[in-house]
Amino acid sequence: MYQIQINILNNSDRYIGEPLYLAGTFNNWDPEHLHVGQIPAQGEWISYTLFGIPEGELDLKLSRGSFSTLRASKEGSLLDAASFEVTQDLIIDLEIDAWRDDFLASTASPQVQVLDKHFYFPELAVYRRVWIYLPKGYAESQAEYPVLYMHDGQHLFDEATSVGRAGPVEWRVDETIDKADLASIVVAIDHAQDYDRREQEYMIHPTAEIIDPRGQAYLEDIVNTLKPYVDKHYRTSKDPQLTAMVGSSLGGLMATYAGLLYPETFGTIGSFSPSIWLDNEPLYALTDLQYSMRKDDYKNQEIYFYIGEKENRVTSSLQMFQDLKDYIQHITSIYSGEITFHTHPSGKHSAHYWQYAFKEFYGYWQERHFSKQ
């Protein structure tokens, strides 16, 4: 075990003398942040030492007591966690330039709208908020646009609605497409507020913990209710290769299943950090069944897999990275479509890295299909 001395320089003239806190992997991102002292005068330092830190990666964020009061850049952008590799005692420096809550809470671009606060999903028998991103110039154009269907809508566009284990990190989907050459529509569905319910709705097969999975109903609602509504009310491309489904973690697993079950609808799948370990054997069995029975249905489909090389399972020392490599190796000889596998050497299971994954995926999709728009 090691000790980490943290020296903190305050460059801001705000909140001087108020309590200063630390959150990080050292306490598993406990929402009860660790009090480390008072915010010093502008230009002055405060020091604090963490003891008993194990070897490995250490991620840290400074706050004033909660994830809604994290430090920010001078421009007001939420800062990524400061990351360090611990192999010995360390002395590290952090600086406070500004605080995130002193700036506008919303980070969504003007292109992001709420399609419906209470869109009805009949198979699930629930109402959910659905977001839509419409490209710049959509109102003046007569063009049809590619469409991305995405899960976990709260976390894609806006810090004000994002909730993560390490704070409100959004995917920056709107900022990515704003800067891209290829304009697309994004339809994003909120997950259930209750995370147990989210797991139930994002699983196809039962487990010991999830006796009544609702993932099949959820996908049916997207294909048979939400997509027809979007196609009717917005100018969407009907080309399956220009209709994608993208998700991460359990949402990545659902995107994988959408590609398996609805290849005629979703010609492109973006599966980021899929939680294969939660549904391993049933996933392999359904994959083998679908690819043998409907081989020709997948020949024009593309799957873009992403995972970080430091993504570990929650319940063991085995790696999610290896899970995905094994699955890709399994399907390579039986899948008639195209597979792309992208990794990040320091990637972890978090929205910070899914920002990166989405940007890389979107660049890939743009390059592949720009000429079809």
Q: Round to whole Å and give the CA distance between 314 and 68.
A: 26
Q: What's the CATH number where 120 sits?
A: 3.40.50.1820
Do 30 and 179 reside in the same domain of the chain? no
Q: Give domain status of residue 194, yes or no.
A: yes
Q: Give the model's pLDDT for residue 92.
A: 96
Q: Give domain status of residue 282, yes or no.
A: yes
Which of residues 40, 73, 102 is at a domain's end? 102
Do 56 and 126 reside in the same domain of the chain? no
Q: What's the CATH number where 16 sits?
A: 2.60.40.10
Q: Give the model's pLDDT for residue 371.
A: 54
Q: Give domain status of residue 279, yes or no.
A: yes
Helices (H), 168-319: 173-178, 195-201, 215-221, 227-233, 250-261, 280-293
Do 140 and 253 reside in the same domain of the chain? yes
The per-residue pLDDT for range 35-52, each reduced to its tens digit, is: 999 999 999 999 999 999
Q: Give domain status of residue 107, yes or no.
A: no
Q: Give the model's pLDDT for residue 106.
A: 92
Q: Give the model's pLDDT for residue 191.
A: 95
Q: Give the model's pLDDT for residue 165.
A: 80
Q: Give domain status of residue 288, yes or no.
A: yes
Which of residues 102, 126, 151 is at a domain's end? 102
Give the strands of the sheet with 45-53, arranged side by side: 45-53, 2-10, 90-96
Q: Give domain status of residue 90, yes or no.
A: yes
For residue 323, the tally of other CB atoms under 10 A from its CB is 21
Do 82 and 195 reside in the same domain of the chain? no
Do 91 and 139 reside in the same domain of the chain? no
Do 193 and 342 reside in the same domain of the chain? yes
Q: Round to whole Å and give the CA distance between 190 and 129.
A: 6
Do 125 and 265 reside in the same domain of the chain? yes
Do 27 and 172 reside in the same domain of the chain? no
Q: Give domain status of residue 22, yes or no.
A: yes
Q: Which domain holds residue 34?
A: 2-102
- The answer to whether residues 84 and 44 touch, using CB atoms and an 8 Å cutoff, is no
- The answer to whether residues 248 and 357 touch, using CB atoms and an 8 Å cutoff, is yes
Which of residues 102, 126, 141 is at a domain's end? 102
Secondary structure (3-state) at 21? strand
Q: What is the CA radius of gyration of the chain?
A: 22
Do 34 and 173 reside in the same domain of the chain? no
Q: Which residues of the chain have pLDDT under 50?
A: 373
Q: Give the model's pLDDT for residue 47.
A: 97
Q: Give the model's pLDDT for residue 316.
A: 54
Do 76 and 214 reside in the same domain of the chain? no
Do 127 and 260 reside in the same domain of the chain? yes
Q: Give the model's pLDDT for residue 56.
A: 87
Domain tally, the chain: 2
Do 11 and 117 reside in the same domain of the chain? no
